Structure 1
Amino acid sequence: MTPEERRALLGDDVIEHIRQLVAAAPPPDAELVAALRPIFTNPGNPVPEQPAAA
Structure 2
Amino acid sequence: MTREERLAILGPETVAKIHARVKEAPEPSDELVEELRRIMTNPAGEIPTSRPAVGRSGNGAVEVHG
Task: Determine if the TM-score, normalized by the shorter chain, exceeds 0.5.
Answer: yes
Structure 2 unaligned regions, length at least 5 = 49-66
Alignment coverage as a number of residue pairs: 47
User: Which structure shows the higher helix fraction?
Assistant: 1
Shift of 1:49: 1.8
Q: Which has the higher contact order (CA 8 A, sep 6+)?
A: 1
2: distance between equivalents of 1:27 and 1:33? 10
| Pair 1:21-2:21 in alignment | yes
User: Which of 1 and 2 has greater Rg?
Assistant: 2
TM-score by length of 1: 0.71
Counterpart code for 2:7: R
Identity of aligned residues (%): 38
Alpha-carbon separation, structure 1, partners of 2:11 and 2:3: 11
The two structures have a TM-score, normalised by structure 2, of: 0.60
1:49 matched residue in structure 2: 47
Root mean square deviation, CA, Å: 2.2
